[in-house]
Amino acid sequence: MINPKRTIEIGVYTGYSLLATALSTPPDAKAILLFLITAIDPKAEWYEIGLPFIKRAGVEHKIDFIHSPALPVLDYLLLQEEKEGSFDFAFVDADKHNYGNYHDRLMKLVKVGGVIIYDNVLWGGTVANPDGDINLPADKKMITMMAIEFNRRIADDERVEICVAPVGDGLTICRRVS
């Protein structure tokens, strides 16, 4: 849809969504031999499990895997003026309590017209009825409340147009419009 060339992946795990992104970057990306996808996760051992499949798919050269929590990496990218507005796409599927912090940074890193997707925004459906399951453990309930707050915040953010896709655990597709 947006023909992404430079992308950010926050939360890699074994690289399932990363591989999908890598396969969807344009074929000419291969010719210019640049790292196109900045993929960030503090657990390198999980990425290494998926890496053979990424190699087999012939897209490893497109990926700059950064073994770190995402926030300091995003802040480092923002120190480089040329990185502002330089990304076409970001996929966020990591620690839920930082989604708001990621949004603040990604709104500077992703260009106007670019897309950010946030995963797990429905949090098992609990966002629709946070008091519905009294057996929900406290840590899960806390994430429910964070997801509600994040969803409200994104809905009120005039810099983006959003669409919540009720697939899987809920994806918010967010297009930067200003």
Instruction: Provide the binding-site residues for ligand SAM, judged by CB under 6 A.
Output: 10-14, 16-17, 40-43, 46, 69-70, 93-95
Cβ nearer to ligand SAM, comparing 117 with 162:
117
CB of 81 to ligand SAM, least distance (A): 24
CB of 69 to ligand SAM, least distance (A): 4
CB of 119 to ligand SAM, least distance (A): 7
Cβ nearer to ligand SAM, comparing 131 with 137:
137
Cβ nearer to ligand SAM, comparing 5 with 105:
105
109: which residues sit within 8 A by CB, 6+ positions away?
8, 74, 77, 78, 83, 84, 85, 86, 87, 90
Which residue number places its CB atom closest to ligand SAM?
Answer: 11
Q: How far is CA 177 from CA 18, 86, 110, 115, in A?
A: 25, 15, 11, 9
Cβ nearer to ligand SAM, comparing 16 with 35:
16
Cβ nearer to ligand SAM, comparing 43 with 159:
43
- One-character DSSP codes across 113-163: EEEEEEE-TTGGGGGG-TTS-TTS-HHHHHHHHHHHHHHHHHHH-TTEEEE
68: which residues sit within 8 A by CB, 6+ positions away?
40, 42
CB of 96 to ligand SAM, least distance (A): 9
CB of 93 to ligand SAM, least distance (A): 4
